[in-house]
Amino acid sequence: MSKRQVSVDETAIIERARQVLPAGGFGNVTFDVVLSEGRGGHVWDESGNEYIDFLLGSGPMLVGHCHPDVTQAVQDQVAKGSTFFVNNAHGIDLAEAIVEAVPCAEKVRFVSTGSEATFYAMRVARAHTGRDKIIKFEGGFHGMSDYALMSMAPARPGNFPQATPDTAGIPAKVSDEILIAPFNDAETAVSLIREHKDELAGVIVEPLQRMIPPKAGFLQALRDATREHGVPLIFDEVVTGFRFAYGGAQEFYGVEPDLCALGKVIGGGYPLAAIAGRDKFMAVFDGAVAGPERTVKQIGTLSGNPVAAAAGLATLEVLRQPGAYETIFATGRALMEGLTASLAKHGIEGQVMGVPPMFDVVFKAGELTDYRATMGADMSMNKRFTAELLSRGILKGDNKFYVSLAHTDADVTQALAAFDEALGAIAADN
Ligand SMILES: Cc1ncc(COP(=O)(O)O)c(C=O)c1O
């Protein structure tokens, strides 16, 4: 399989990036590659190297790059104007499509990023309840806000429910507002909800946390306990929304939260995200209903941007076509099974975790049901695997494969051969 060649031009661009960007990049990935083009399930770099793309722009490109329907919808709107700040029909159509699809969605408020969506979902929960604290799960990722970056990847996990900030620059007091619970431990989570109910504004959870699936009954236990104690339950569906099923993880797992955060797929590759939920909670965005004490302030220059909304709508239309999810799941399943077989063939300790539209290999054996269990996993192996694949024409993030509707059987065949070669090279060195 051909090794990646980096041209003089791309090397020069990478060098220029070092002059003007901290660490030479946008902060998103650890490897140096400058992409210039994407079509279907493939992308090309500035040197002209072609890759099968399992990064998918970190998830939004579920129907593939430059899907003709999405491109057409975007071009039609761009020709008529790019942003207005007031309502536009595409944004209203997209909100209707979300309400129709997502079980908990009765109202929708648009923002531009997933980080904003989770940030505002937590604010909505606080405004609705008049309480401050939020339970989140250790290892869970909800974007970049001060409240979200708590115990996402603690090097030395403390005692539950003490939160550990994941970044410099967060005011010390914020840690006191977040209570950390162990994912998949319903008993501990429920007892924390019960114990803190009088100060608890909400519980936020990734329905499938990173690559760890919820144990049977875990999400339902959260649902039952939050309902019993009048605490809003927030699903972070930035990744899972419209990916696990048209109705997202809440449809896939059959558990309905009060609020959810959406992003990635609903913007069709453009900056658009949303908070969606039951009217009763979303009413805090409406000053006339909520009253001055409970109204949540929320304005955004690009909220509901018409180009992004047109792209999102066209994307959802593609996903509604018969067989779309069956195809994505079949592709993902074939990749997961092939990767599992190659790990076994080369005697590498590891397991493929996740669901077919989104998975990765975790280089550790045994049952991994929470963050602490995954801690001993060899992350350097993930970096090596990603690098080996990159050099063989496969692009992925360090911790995830995203599968698209545009990936073909030929892509699967080529990817499986690359997985096997890459793991063979790793095994030979170990
Ligand atoms: C579960 C989850 N929540 C929130 C976010 C933040 O979204 P964004 O990068 O659009 O701010 C991400 C991003 O990957 C995510 O995976």
Find the CATH number of the domain harbouring 153.
3.40.640.10
Same domain? For 305 and 397 the reply is: no
SS3 196: coil
The last residue of a domain, from among 319, 339, 355: 319
315 and 336 assigned to the same domain: no
Decide whether any atom of ligand 1 lies within 6 Å of the 209 Cβ: no
| Helices 68-78, 306-319: inter-axial angle, 10-degree rounding | 160
Residues 277 and 306: their CA atoms lie apart, in Å, by 22
Say yes or no: CB of residue 237 within 6 Å of ligand 1: no
Residue of 212, 238, 244 best suited for mutating to test ligand 1, as the one with most atoms within 8 Å of CB: 238
Count H helices and E strands in the chain, helices first. Answer: 14, 14
143 pocket-lining for ligand 1 (C-beta < 6 Å): yes
The CA 142 to ligand 1 mean position distance, Å, reads 6
For the whole prediction, is pTM greater than 0.95? yes
Instruction: Pick the last residue of a domain from 319, 342, 357.
Output: 319
* CA of residue 114 to ligand 1 center, whole Å: 5
On whether residue 1 sits in a domain, the answer given is no
- Ligand 1 midpoint to CA 359 (Å): 16
Task: For residue 353, give the 3-state DSSP assignment.
Answer: strand
Cα atoms found within 13 Å of the Cα of residue 284, Cβ hemisphere only: 23
Q: Give Cβ neighbours of residue 229 (< 8 Å, ≥ 6 apart).
A: 193, 194, 197, 200
On whether residue 396 sits in a domain, the answer given is yes
253 belongs to a structural domain: yes
> 195 — phi, psi (to 5°)?
-65, -35
Amino acid at 310: A
Instruction: Tell me, using a 6 A CB cutoff, whether residue 248 lines ligand 1.
Output: no
114 in contact with ligand 1, CB cutoff 6 A: yes
Residue 2 lies in a domain: no
Same domain, 185 and 295: yes
Residue with tokens 């109202």: 107
Q: Is the CB of residue 397 less than 8 Å from the CB of residue 58?
A: yes
Structural domain boundaries enclosing 368: 8-66+323-429
Domain boundary among 285, 319, 353: 319
How many domains is the chain built from? 2
Residue 425 shares a structural domain with residue 409: yes
Q: Do residue 415 and residue 313 come from a single domain?
A: no
Using a 6 Å cutoff on CB, does residue 113 contact ligand 1?
yes
Q: Are residues 392 and 312 in the same domain?
A: no
Would the CB of 240 count as within 6 Å of ligand 1? no
Which atom in ligand 1 lies closest to the alpha carbon of residue 237? 1
Give me the residues paired with residue 133 across strands. 200
Burial 105-142 (b: 16+ CB within 10 A, else e): bebbbbbbbbbbbbbbbbbbbbbbbebebbbbbbbbbb
Query: pLDDT tens digits, the chain, 430 residues: what are they?
Result: 557 899 999 999 999 999 999 999 999 988 889 999 999 999 999 999 999 999 999 999 999 999 999 999 999 999 999 999 999 999 999 999 999 999 999 999 999 999 999 999 999 999 999 999 999 999 999 999 999 999 999 999 999 999 999 999 999 999 999 999 999 999 999 999 999 999 999 999 999 999 999 999 999 999 999 999 999 999 999 999 999 999 999 999 999 999 999 999 999 999 999 999 999 999 999 999 999 999 999 999 999 999 999 999 999 999 999 999 999 999 999 999 999 999 999 999 999 999 999 999 999 999 999 999 999 898 899 999 999 999 999 999 988 999 999 999 999 999 999 999 999 999 998 7
Query: Can you state the percent helix, strand and coil of the chain, rounding each to 5?
Result: 40, 15, 40
At 355, list the tokens.
């669901």
Residues 308 and 267 occupy one common structural domain: yes
Q: Are residues 183 and 287 in the same domain?
A: yes
Specify the CATH number for the domain of residue 400: 3.90.1150.10
Residue 137 Cβ < 6 Å to ligand 1: no
